[in-house]
Structure 1
Amino acid sequence: MFLPQRLPGQDWLGVVVAIPEPWVTQLTELRLRLGDLAGSRIPAHITLMPPTPVAREARAEVIDHLRSIA
């Protein structure tokens, strides 16, 4: 996965939607059968926003915004 450069004073922030059972188990099993080595370490999910560097001082504002639109 490509990650943009993170500068001093920044944190990673991403947004995912968890997939509930029984589908997460079915998707994980399929990923492993298809050779996805990350399948056993990273649960199946839907990425809405990939890891993005965000200034630490803006983190709370970004999270508040995401909550307001969720």
Structure 2
Amino acid sequence: MEAVTRARKRFRQYPVIFAKCSKEASVYASCVLKQDNLKKNDCLAEFHGFKNCLRKTAVDLKTKI
């Protein structure tokens, strides 16, 4: 049951992680919404910015995604 406890603790951190990356999430969402016919890799740079922010924030909070 220790694994379940650790997973729950990790999941409680998700709102904090997403809140700290709200700027990057907004940039990525704007790019996606701007596209009329979204294709693979259209917003790749914005996605990588958002993903890197999530990873960095998780490391700073000493958790994982």
TM-score higher than 0.5 = no
Which of 1 and 2 has greater Rg?
1
Q: More helix by proportion, 1 or 2?
A: 2
